Amino acid sequence: MLLQKGQKIDVTKNRNHKNVQVHIGWKTAGTQIEVDASAFLLSSSGICAQDEDFIFYGNPVSSDHSVSYTAGSNAQSGQFTMDWSRLSSSIHKIALTLTIHEGKKLNQYFNQVSNTYLEIVDPGGKETTIKFEFGKDLTKETAIVVGEFYLHNGEWKFSAIGSGFFGGLDDLCKHYGLEVIDNQDDAGHDAVVAESAAAAAPPVETKINLNKIDLLKKKVEISLAKNKIANEKARVAVVFDASGSMFNLYLNGTVQRAFEKVLAIASSMDDDGQLDVWFFADSSMRTGSVTATDYENYVKRTYTLGAAGGGNNEPEVMRDVIKKYSKEEPNDRLPVYVIFFSDGGIYETEGISKILIESSKLGIFWQFVGLGQSYYGVLEELDDLPGRFIDNADFFALDDIDTVSDSELYDRLFNEYPQWLVQARQKRILKS
């Protein structure tokens, strides 16, 4: 069976075997490009609890012998063997990755690597049951999250991710909670020594830093005053695109910084200072409400890359947002302000349009923000979308959210929301 990017499939369900072999391969344009395969054995929160759970060329076998890696003789392939019966009950996910050794330093990227594939083979290595080809869309990336095995209702499944990002092995390790030390005296590769972040340093008492959110909150309040809505209250929500093309923005902290900027809005506008958060890709994930006392590393602590797949399914998460505020927690006096981040690749035109039309009679305003220079489809045509009771959405795109001042960002976020408030009250969508 040939998998498509973003697809998920059962691995152990209705199969009477305790192990699988995973073949992974690639071809390089030049023999000097060194590609390495790795596996990260992860807890339910997506963290490597110990360095033995990181399987790579320097540690080819896990401590419980549940996962092992053997490099191919041609240096362009490898094989993972996974024994589910030996795997610790604390392991809920296994992420498989490819990285180019010193790729950025040597100006080597995955657009110079071809025929990347993964095969999941039945025991004995005789029959390929699942194949996933990936990487044709990559350019200057130096790492790939190939896919992820994950435990679901007591059975193992596989999610085909195939998404690249611009960090190397070090960045992958840091993302999964490991610290990396480069030993320059190693005769071959730099010896990569990984330690769990928890074990690397003694516990210290930490003090939550509210100052960052407090400073942002002051800028929010200035923008609210400029737009004559300083005394307006609202429930605030943020939705983050978590598709494969967004992975680099998660790894480099962009999504966390965007989250903090929106949290400052909730701190100003919500009576309880709470922000409701969603992540989405092929499926959607609603997380618990968060306040300024718990913002540090929130994105990394809450969402594991690939947990919702790698594709784009805006309608599903939009329906869940509507469900929360119109069915589960209805309040016709308090508006809902939703900030929806996406890097594009939007093709669900009909589904998104239908939801925006249907929700135009609800007290929900959708503020879409583009992160990049991609295809935003129907979002770029919101002003001309017919059939709505009132105009209930706005969109603008940013090449890089970090290059825009906080004041400018907040002014743009509140560009159309005040007019919507007036119309929503005039049309009795919101009661005074």
Q: How far apart are CA 38 and CA 176, in angstroms?
A: 12
Task: Sort 401 into a burial class: Cβ within 10 Å, 0-12 / 13-18 / 19+.
Answer: middle
Give the pLDDT of residue 75: 80
Same domain flag for 177 and 303:
no
CATH number at residue 397: 3.40.50.410
Tell me phi and psi for residue 247, to 5 degrees.
-55, -40
Same domain flag for 134 and 218:
no
Pinpoint the alpha helices (H) of 227-328: 247-251, 254-269, 298-302, 314-322
In the predicted model, is pLDDT for residue 238 greater than 50? Answer: yes
Give the pLDDT of residue 196: 47
Average pLDDT over residues 316-328: 95
Same domain flag for 182 and 217:
no
Buried b (16+ CB within 10 A) or exposed e, 310-340: bbbbbbbbbbbbbebbbeeeeeeebbbbbbb
Average pLDDT over residues 226-250: 93
Q: How far apart are CA 254 and CA 113, in angstroms?
A: 27
Same domain flag for 132 and 225:
no
Q: Is residue 103 part of a domain?
A: yes
Overall pTM surpassing 0.85 (yes/no): no
**Residue 127 structural domain:** 2-200
Give the pLDDT of residue 180: 62
Same domain flag for 137 and 275:
no
Given 153, 174, 200, which residue is the final one in a domain? Answer: 200
Q: Is residue 432 part of a domain?
A: no
Residues 258-312 have pLDDT tens digits of: 999 999 999 999 988 999 999 999 899 999 889 998 888 899 888 988 888 888 8
Same domain flag for 306 and 168:
no
CATH number at residue 194: 2.60.60.30
Residues 109-140 have pLDDT tens digits of: 899 999 999 999 876 555 667 899 998 888 88
Give the pLDDT of residue 174: 78
Same domain flag for 315 and 250:
yes
- The total of structural domains in the chain comes to 2
In the predicted model, is pLDDT for residue 205 greater than 80? Answer: no
Report the percent of the chain where pLDDT is more than 90: 46
Q: Is residue 225 part of a domain?
A: yes
Residues recorded for the chain:
432
Q: How far apart are CA 323 and CA 359, in angstroms?
A: 11
Residues 73-97 have pLDDT tens digits of: 778 899 999 999 999 999 999 999 9
Could you tell me which of 339, 183, 180 has the C-alpha nearest to residue 266? 339
Q: Is residue 431 part of a domain?
A: no
Looking at 315-319, 340-344, 397-401, which range is the least confident one? 397-401
Give the pLDDT of residue 201: 41
Q: Is residue 338 part of a domain?
A: yes
Q: How far is CA 209 from the centre of its chain?
A: 24
Q: How far apart are CA 331 and CA 172, in angstroms?
A: 43
Give the pLDDT of residue 255: 94
Give the pLDDT of residue 370: 87
Same domain flag for 174 and 288:
no
Same domain flag for 106 and 157:
yes
Q: Is residue 55 part of a domain?
A: yes
Looking at 96-105, 152-161, 166-175, 305-314, which range is the least confident one? 166-175
Same domain flag for 163 and 306:
no
Instruction: Considering only CA atoms, give the Rg of the chain.
Output: 23
Q: Which residues contact 3 (CB under 8 A, 6 or more apart)?
A: 9, 130, 131, 132, 158, 160
What is the torsional sign of CA 159, 165, 169, 170? negative
Q: Is the separation of the CB atoms in 165 and 106 below 8 Å?
A: no
Average pLDDT over residues 149-167: 84
Q: Is the separation of the CB atoms in 156 and 19 below 8 Å?
A: no
Given 200, 224, 240, which residue is the final one in a domain? Answer: 200
Average pLDDT over residues 345-349: 73
Same domain flag for 156 and 301:
no
- The residue that leads in pLDDT, 180 or 389, is 389
Give the pLDDT of residue 191: 43
Query: Which two tokens mark 51?
Result: 């360095």
Looking at 4-13, 120-129, 213-222, which range is the least confident one? 120-129
Q: Is residue 253 part of a domain?
A: yes
Residues 15-61 have pLDDT tens digits of: 777 788 999 999 987 668 999 999 999 987 778 888 889 998 888 99
- The residue that leads in pLDDT, 355 or 399, is 355
Query: Which two tokens mark 52?
Result: 């033995």
Q: DSSP readout, 290-319?
A: B-GGG-TTHHHHH--TTTT-SS--HHHHHH
Q: Is 27 in a helix, a strand, or coil?
A: strand
Give the pLDDT of residue 177: 79
Give the pLDDT of residue 9: 87
Q: Is residue 298 part of a domain?
A: yes
Same domain flag for 162 and 287:
no
Give the pLDDT of residue 373: 61
Q: How far apart are CA 53 and CA 91, in angstroms?
A: 9
Given 171, 200, 229, which residue is the final one in a domain? Answer: 200
What does the mean pLDDT of the chain come to? 85
